[in-house]
Structure 1
Amino acid sequence: MNLDLLDKVLGVSGGISWVVSYVFYRLYRSRTDTARQVKNIPIWEPGEDLLSHLTNDGNLAYAAVEGVVKELNRTLHSRHGNNEGVIMETQLIEHKSQRINGFWSDVKKVLRDTTEYVPFALKPVKDSGTDGNKHVVEVLDPGQAARLRDELETTHDSFEPHRSSLVQIGIDRLFGEVSKGLQESEKMLLTGTSLLGVGKVFLERGQIKMAPPDDLSRTYILTKMRLSELVRHYEAQSSMYKVIALLSALIGGGILSIIVWRQTRAWLERRKQRIQFEDIRRAMAEAAERRRVHISVARNRNSEEAEIDNTCVVCLTNQRQVVALNCGHISLCADCAEALHFPKKCPVCRAAVVRFMPIFHA
C-alpha cells in the first residue's frame, strides 16, 4: 500500500481520534459505574447507630457518611485572616506575556504550590458535644479522595502588579518576556463545613474510620454535595463523555473510510493502467515483428543520431514508445511510463496523465 502525504496525515488524524474516543469512553464508563455504585448505597450519620452496626455486623465495604468537619488534634490557620481549617492549599503564580512565533501570549509560571493536611473527622450535624470523639468518623487519606480539591473554599486571592521602569519594560519587550505580576491564592477546607464522605467505613480500636475502598473500581469521594446531587453530577459527566467518545469514534471512522476510498481508487487506477500497458506492449511487439519482416535495417550516422534523439528521456536507452494524454508529449518508453509514481505526471510539462497511447515507428 503506497501512502502519500495526505493519506499519512489522515491516518495520524484518524489514530488520534480513536485514542481520544478510547480515553473518553474510559471516562464515560468510570463516571457511569461511579453513579451506579453511589446511587443506592446506605447513608449514615456519625453516631450511636453507625457504631452499633459496625460493632455487630462488621465493616461497611462502601457507604456514605454525612457530617460536619471537625479537627482532631490541631487546625490550620489562614495566613490572611481568622479562618481555621483542616486542609490548606496555597499557590504563588507569576503571570507573564511571552512572544511566541511573533505573537504575544499570556503564560503562567507556578512558583509555589503546597497543600497541607491535618487529621480531621466528620461529626454529627447536631452534635451535643458530650461524647467527645467517640461518635465521629475519622477521615483517612483525604488526598486520595475525588472532588475534594474542588470543594476547597477560597480564603485569599490577590494580584500584585509588577512595577518596572520604562527602560526595563523596553528591554523586556525586546527579549520577548514581560512580567505582569504575582498572584497569591489560598484555599481551605474549613472546620464546620458540611461534608459527604463515600468510602469504606470500619471500626478500629473503638474508633469509627473512613478510608479508600478495598475494591479499586469504587471511587473514594469527599464532597459538599448531597448524595442525590453527586449522582446527578456523575450522570451528567457520563453523558457528556459518551457524546465526545461517540463523536471522536465517528470522526475516526470517517477518516478511515476516506483513506480506504482513496486507496481503493488508486488501486483501481493502477490496475487500469497495468492492463493498458499490457495492451501497449502487445501492440508494439506486433508492430516490431512486422517491421522485421518487411524492412531491412540500414544504419548510418544520420540514423544513429536520429535514434539517439528518439530515446526515452528517463532511461536514455529505449526508444520513445508512448504518447502522454492529454498534453501530447512523446518522451517515454513503455517501461518508464509504467514505472512512474502514481498519480502519473508527464516528465516534460508535469501535467497529469489521463492515459498513455502507443506510437509506432516506421
Structure 2
Amino acid sequence: MSSHDGAAAAVFAQVALSADGAVIGLVLAYVAIQSFFKFSYTSSALRKIRRAPAVRVSDLRFLLSSSDDSNNNASNTDESEPSEGKLLFVRGLVEAKSTIDGNWRSLRPNVLVSHESGERGVVLQRTQTCIYNEWRGLFGWTSDLRTLFARSWKEQKSTSLRTVPFILVEAGQWPHTDYVIVNLDGSRHPLPLMTVYHQLQPVHASPYTFLQALFGHEYPVGLLDEEKILPLGKEISAVGVCRLQDGTPEIKSCKDLPFFLSDMTKDQMVVDLAFRTKVLLWGGILLGSLSFGILGYAIVRNWNRWKEWRQQMQTRQPIDTAAAAIAEIGRDEDVGDVPDGELCVICLMQRRRSAFVPCGHFVCCQGCALSVERESAPKCPVCRQTIRTSIRIYNS
C-alpha cells in the first residue's frame, strides 16, 4: 500500500471511529434496515411464486378462459373490477412470433443474428467495455481519492439491446398451435442470455496516451467486446401475470417478483428465494444487534463525557473568578517596574509569586500558576515534571 493509500485509509478509519464508533453504528443500522426491507420483499415474492400454479402452454387458453368467465360472473353480481390477469408459472421453448403468423413471412422468420458468431435469437445484447489503466507518472500528482471516484463518474460501458417479438411453445409440439406471447414492455428483470462472442481487443497507444500516462492520468488499454443472445429453441421459464389478449395468451412481468424469464424451474426458484430470505433475516438481526450495541456504547460514553465536561465547567467557574481576583491583587502589588529576572515565564508581565510542588520551581505569577494547575495533566513549564499544587511565596 502506498503512502497516499495509507493516508486515505487512516482518514476513513478516523471518520468511522469518530464519536466512539457512532458512525459505524449508524452505517450498520442503515444496512440492517435495508436488509429487513429486502427480506420483506423477498419473502412476499416467495409466497407468490409458491402459490403460482405451474401450467403447461397447451392448458393456458382453457385456464384463462375459465378464469375470465368466473371474473365476469363475479363482476355482474358484485359490480367489481375485472381482474388484470393471473399469476402463473410457464415453461417452454423460445420461438420467434413470426413463425406462427401464418403467411409468407413465416418462411423467413424475423429473428436477430449475431454479427460475430452467426447465432440466431430473439434478443441480442452487445456490450463494449473500455478498460482503463493508471500509472503514477514521473510527477506523481494523481490523487488516490480522485482515482477512486473518477471511474464511477466516467462512462466506461455502452450496451445496446435489440429484441423481436417472441413466444414460448411446448416442447415436442408441431405445428405450434398453442403458445404464449412474451411481453417485455416495462420489464427490468435480467434475461437468461447466452454469451456467443467475447473478445478483448488492445487499444493502440497514441501521443496523447503517452501524455496521459506521463502526468499520472488513467488511459485506455483495451476494449472488451461481448455479445449475448436469447437463442431459438432454448427452454426457459416465465413467471408473471398471464391474460388473454385478443384471444391469445400473453404473459407479462410482475414488478413484485425478482424473476420473469429464467433458466431455473419453479422448485429451483423457491429454493433460491428461501435461501435469500434466511440470509437477509439473520443478516439483518445480526447487523441490527451489532449496531444497537455500538450505538448504545457510543451514547453512554458521550453522555458520561458530557456530564464530566459540565461538572468541570461548574467547578471551573468559581476557580476562574478566584484566579481573576488573585491576578488583580497581584497586579496591584506589582505596580512599578519588574526586573527581567523576576518576570513570570508564561505571561512575561507579572512578578514571580508561586512555586510548584513537588519540583519547587519559582517561575510563575499566581494567576499563571493557577492556570497550570487547572490543566488536565499539569506539568511544570521548566522541568515538565507533573505537579500537584502551587504555593504562594511572600517576600519579607
- With the shorter chain as reference, the TM-score category is 0.7 to 0.9
For residue 63 of structure 1, what is the aligned residue in structure 2?
Answer: 88
Measure the CA separation in 2 of the matches of 1:184 and 1:136. Answer: 35
Measure the CA separation in 1 of the matches of 2:45 and 2:273. Answer: 7
SS in 2 for 1:99: coil
Residues 179, 39 of structure 1: CA spacing in aligned structure 2 closer, same or farther, 3 A cutoff?
Answer: same
Q: Among the aligned pairs, what percent are the same residue?
A: 19
The alignment status of 1:225 with 2:264, answered yes or no, reads yes
For residue 147 of structure 1, what is the aligned residue in structure 2?
Answer: 190
- Alignment of structure 1 residues 98-113 onto 2, 5 Å: 98-99=134-135, 101=142, 110=156, 112-113=158-159
For residue 90 of structure 1, what is the aligned residue in structure 2?
Answer: 126
Measure the CA separation in 2 of the matches of 1:284 and 1:91. Answer: 76
- Partner AA of 2:22 in structure 1: G
> What is the Cα deviation at residue 141 of structure 1?
2.1
- Please provide the CA RMSD for this pair: 4.6
> What is the Cα deviation at residue 217 of structure 1?
3.7
Measure the CA separation in 1 of the matches of 2:270 and 2:222. Answer: 41
Measure the CA separation in 2 of the matches of 1:264 and 1:56. Answer: 68
Residues 283, 81 of structure 1: CA spacing in aligned structure 2 closer, same or farther, 3 A cutoff?
Answer: closer
For residue 138 of structure 1, what is the aligned residue in structure 2?
Answer: 181
- Alignment of structure 1 residues 306-321 onto 2, 5 Å: 309=343, 313=347
Whether the 8 Å contact between 1:88 and 1:115 is mirrored in structure 2 is yes
The alignment status of 1:174 with 2:210, answered yes or no, reads no
Residues 358, 33 of structure 1: CA spacing in aligned structure 2 closer, same or farther, 3 A cutoff?
Answer: farther
The runs of 5 or more residues in structure 1 that have no matched partner are none
Residues 144, 321 of structure 1: CA spacing in aligned structure 2 closer, same or farther, 3 A cutoff?
Answer: farther
Measure the CA separation in 2 of the matches of 1:34 and 1:325. Answer: 76
Residues 347, 269 of structure 1: CA spacing in aligned structure 2 closer, same or farther, 3 A cutoff?
Answer: farther
Measure the CA separation in 2 of the matches of 1:352 and 1:22. Answer: 53
Whether the 8 Å contact between 1:41 and 1:62 is mirrored in structure 2 is yes
Q: 2:336 aligns with which of 282, 301, 304?
A: 301
Residues 85, 311 of structure 1: CA spacing in aligned structure 2 closer, same or farther, 3 A cutoff?
Answer: same
Residues 298, 56 of structure 1: CA spacing in aligned structure 2 closer, same or farther, 3 A cutoff?
Answer: closer
- Partner AA of 2:61 in structure 1: L
* Deviation per residue, 1:182-228 (Å, 9 max, x gap): 11100011111111111111112111011134xx5445521110001
Aligned length: 334
Measure the CA separation in 1 of the matches of 2:212 and 2:314. Answer: 68
Measure the CA separation in 2 of the matches of 1:169 and 1:195. Answer: 46
For residue 72 of structure 1, what is the aligned residue in structure 2?
Answer: 97
Larger fraction in strand = 1
For residue 161 of structure 2, what is the aligned residue in structure 1?
Answer: 115
Measure the CA separation in 2 of the matches of 1:64 and 1:333. Answer: 85
The alignment status of 1:53 with 2:63, answered yes or no, reads yes
Measure the CA separation in 2 of the matches of 1:251 and 1:324. Answer: 48
For residue 11 of structure 1, what is the aligned residue in structure 2?
Answer: 22
Measure the CA separation in 2 of the matches of 1:237 and 1:116. Answer: 32
